[in-house]
Amino acid sequence: MHNTHTIFQSIASKILSSKNELNIYGANYKQWMYIFKQIYDDKNNNLCTKSQLIVLPDQEMAEQTYEILSSLNLKNHPIQLQGLETSPYSSVVPSVSNMQKRFGILSHLVNNNKANIIITTAESLVLSTPPVDYFLNNKLTLNISDIIAPHDLALKLIELGYRPSVTVEEPGTFSKKGEIFDIFPTYGRPIRINYFDDMIEEFKFIDLKTNKTVKDQCQETIFIYTSVGNLTSDTFIKNFKNTIKNPGLRSKKKYDRRLEIFQSLNNNCLFETFPNMIPAFFETTSNLLDFFNNNNYIITLINEVELKQSILELKESLRMRHEELQNDNDSSDIVLSPEKIFNFNLLEQSNHSLAINVNAVKVITESTKNYSEEILLKLEGVSTFLAPSKKPTIDKTDQIKSSLDYIVNEFIESGLITISTYDEQSRDELIFFLEGIPNFIYLKNRVNFLYSKLDEGFYYKKENHLVLTASDLFAKKQI
């Protein structure tokens, strides 16, 4: 197999040499994910030692990006960081699960020195977070051979906001049964602790489907990060009460709702809309960029113009809705202002690391803002590349053969072909077609196969590299 990592070396070199901002034109976000895979995993550069923050305009694009990168088997597995996803002023109850996962990921970011790949949306990026120190100070480290009685461990977990449960089926829960102690951390897999008296003897991962341990090797040290339940601690309740001012009798419904919320917190219970009001529990807040080492991460903005427009539209829609709620004395909604929940000017205020803007993909580096550099990729769509091979009068199978025959003849002397398939069946089908072409033998060692969820390829003329997906050939619309 030919080494694809050398193909995009020039792009990697440009990124690593950029001082602040790099604009990359001519690639959509799916195409960029493939290129990112090649340069990220290349041992000839140190991109994989830097954390990557990839920001997309909306949730659908973020989910597709996460699926593609997950399927590409990167050295470091990507992490998807979600925001509220729904308006804090809508009637839709916000997801407690999403906020719990967000707390876990933020804890992970600030408490480990590994390079991470974080995929998020514009809305999630500008969503204010608890201060960084909160995640640094609220955690528990457990080691094999530690002496800590199960009862004492349970008390420490409760302090972190964890809930006792019969079985651990969701993050932020624990279960104590004799010499077996199960914990589902807010970040990572559920873990079973085997005790010998009051000494931790062994950690094992739990299979959630069977509630039995698995054979995977578990680390000798585990980190238990804070849960959202920790917000019912006295300090945070006091902050919340100081933030949510008495609306007065002019709005009796709001007045009564405020009392209900306070009573719930006094009983150590979070109210259902608390994810919309996280900043109210803290005297100060941080932003997502504060969780990265300034000199050792790269932020990639996909479709920057669309991304920034989505932030502006979010700001304006929330401003209007907030004004309506504030002026509606018949409403019982207790809400924070948009500026309290979000930092809409984060990208303009930040002076962090390298930024890449894809299509333009934007990469921002440490010096930022002084000047920008550009890369024009000139990627050609597969349908355009294969246009000379198209014969409208033949059936689908013959068209696939015609397209592959054209590809083989175009690459017979030089170039690299990467073929991405979803599964083994489509891979075997393509191999069967290719091996039926006599000249295929001359370029067989320059054809790479990979399994991924990439659904469209491209041709990079500068380096004579064709990325072909099963969808490019088998989908009717592509033929």
- Mean pLDDT in consecutive groups of 10 residues from the start of the chain, 479 residues: 60 81 88 91 84 95 96 93 95 95 97 92 98 97 96 97 94 92 96 94 90 82 96 97 90 93 96 97 96 85 93 97 92 96 89 68 50 81 92 85 95 95 92 94 94 92 93 65
pLDDT of residue 362: 58
Distance in angstroms (rounded) separating the CA atoms of residues 431 and 189: 38
pLDDT of residue 478: 37
Q: Structure pTM?
A: 0.91
pLDDT of residue 332: 93
H-run or E-run covering 252: helix 252-266
pLDDT of residue 479: 33
pLDDT of residue 131: 98
Rounded alpha-carbon distances, angstroms, from residue 79 to 18, 58, 115, 123, 171: 25, 16, 11, 16, 16
Name every residue whose Cβ is closer than 8 Å to that of residue 370 and which is 6 or more positions away in sequence: 19, 20
Name every residue whose Cβ is closer than 8 Å to that of residue 148 and which is 6 or more positions away in sequence: 142, 156, 198, 200
Distance in angstroms (rounded) separating the CA atoms of residues 419 and 407: 12
Residue count (the chain): 479
Distance of CA 108 to the CA centre of its chain: 13
The number of helix segments (H) and strand segments (E) in the chain equals 16, 21
